[in-house]
Structure 1
Amino acid sequence: MSLTRRRSLTLLLAASLSGAPALAQMGPQLDLPRVQLTVGMYRIDVQVASTPLQRQIGLMNRRDMPPTEGMLFVFEQPGEQCFWMKNTLIPLTAAFIADDGTIVNLADMKPLDESNHCSAKPVRYVLEMNQGWFAEHHVKAGHKLGGSVFQAR
């Protein structure tokens, strides 16, 4: 079991034991810090999920997301990152991103699907966008994203 998965299970167990509401019942998180990213000539406004709870909730329970927005998941260190779509209502594409901002691989994900979608190699960042955004903008594995978050490490 990966470290990320163990952390997620520990978080869920702690939440259930503490009487905290189940993650599925929580509303969408809309107040996370935001940063601007670029890829080529395109700008993306992203919410940053950097704590275990923020990453666990992610885009759950969102009914829509503006076309130029996304969510950037930031992990403490590179590792195999795997994502699923439990309680996520909109189709997304996950871009698994190396420390320098280079997209390692992309994965299309279906709403409410609990299949794992994993990084092809250890990464520190995962960017979720509305499904189709990367294809429409001809952004593929190997392209590099810009932004202060990638320069901070």
Structure 2
Amino acid sequence: MDHVVDLRWDGGSARINVEIADDFEERARGLMFRESMPRYDGMLFIYEWPLSVAFWMKNTLIPLDMVFLDEHGVVQSIHENAVPGSLESIPGGDEILVVLEVNGGLTRKLGLPVGAQMRHSAFAKTDPSWACN
């Protein structure tokens, strides 16, 4: 893992090691075909601008939690334990700039709530709620 993201909220914080998916091909492949992932690892999907996003689990072998963040690095919604292989569309909301995928159940274990803040350079072009130092 080359990158980390920090998350904070009232009563908690977490650091996740992430792979970056910031172009069309990387975002399309995502975590497909992975048989496992270390507990505190994940993938950070970064878009060029905020937009409406939806994910699915086609060819994904492990359950995932999806954390959808706005351009300021604030968690707008969380989808827990997406079902491996499912073709069901999982909407993340409007005006989403970044999506963090982690192992299924991790967001609940951490107590990560909607409204939590993320620190990462992906938010440097906007007015981040938690700026990188």
TM over 0.5: yes
Please name the residue that 1:121 is paired with: 94
Match of 2:53, as an amino acid? Q
Aligned-pair Cα RMSD in Å: 1.3
Over the matched positions of the two proteins, sequence identity in percent amounts to 31
Structure index of larger Rg: 1
Counterpart mapping for 1:23-62 below 5 A: 34-40=2-8, 41-62=13-34
Runs of 4+ in 1 over 4 A off after TM superposition: none
TM value normalised by structure 1: 0.75
Structure 2: any 5+ residue segments left out of the alignment?
127-133
| Structure 2 Cα separation of the partners of residues 34 and 100 of structure 1 | 22
Structure with a larger share of its residues in strand: 2
Alignment of 1:1-153 (within 5 A): 34-40=2-8, 41-108=13-80, 109-153=82-126
Asked if the contact 2:46–2:122 (Cα under 8 Å) also holds between the matched residues in 1, the reply is no
List alignment gaps of at least 5 residues for structure 1: 1-32
Equivalent pairs, count: 121
Question: 1:95 touches 1:127 (CA, 8 Å); kept in 2?
Answer: yes
Q: CA deviation at 1:76?
A: 1.0
Structure in which a larger fraction of residues adopt helix: 1
Q: Which residue of 2 aligns with 1:21?
A: none
Q: CA deviation at 1:152?
A: 4.1
Give how far 1:119 is off.
1.6
Q: Is the 8 A contact 1:104 1:121 kept in 2?
A: no
| TM-score, normalised via structure 2 length | 0.86
